[in-house]
Amino acid sequence: MATAPTNIRALRDPPALQLAWPDGRVDQIPYRRLREECPCAVCVDEITGRRVLDVSTIPADIRPAAVSFVGNYALKIAWSDGHDTGLYSWDRLRQLGK
């Protein structure tokens, strides 16, 4: 299980979430990629695990409207397109940063 980042920044240019990890690694994950990878039940079928989100519906200028911590294991991102049900665990964010 990944440890929480030491620093999290919502960047404007480039439009990305920047995460600094305790081991010194720094990732920048583009907002659109994060939105495409939303793990919630609206975006991924709970039974099959198949992604049901039509990524062509995501605005090119998508950005976080709000970011909050969920315990010590994830971020909740409310998006500018109104979607706000996805929880991004540290493990998932670390994976997406590769």
- Which residue ranges form the domains of the chain, and what is each CATH number? 7-96 (3.30.2020.30)
50-73 per-position pLDDT tens digit: 999 999 999 999 999 999 999 999
Task: Classify the phi-psi angles of 51: left when phi > 0, otherwise alpha if psi is within -120 to 50, otherwise beta.
Answer: beta
How far is residue 85's CA from residue 77's CA, in Å, rounded to a whole number? 8
Tokens 């039940």, located at residue: 41
Whole-model pTM above 0.75? yes
Q: Could you tell me the sign of the dihedral formed by the alpha carbons of 98, 11, 57, 44, in that order?
A: positive
- pLDDT-derived band at 98 (thresholds 50, 70, 90) equals confident
Q: Report how far residue 39's alpha carbon sits from residue 57's, in angstroms, rounded to the nearest whole number.
A: 16
Whole-angstrom Cα distance, residue 49 to residue 51?
6
Position 1 scores a pLDDT of 75
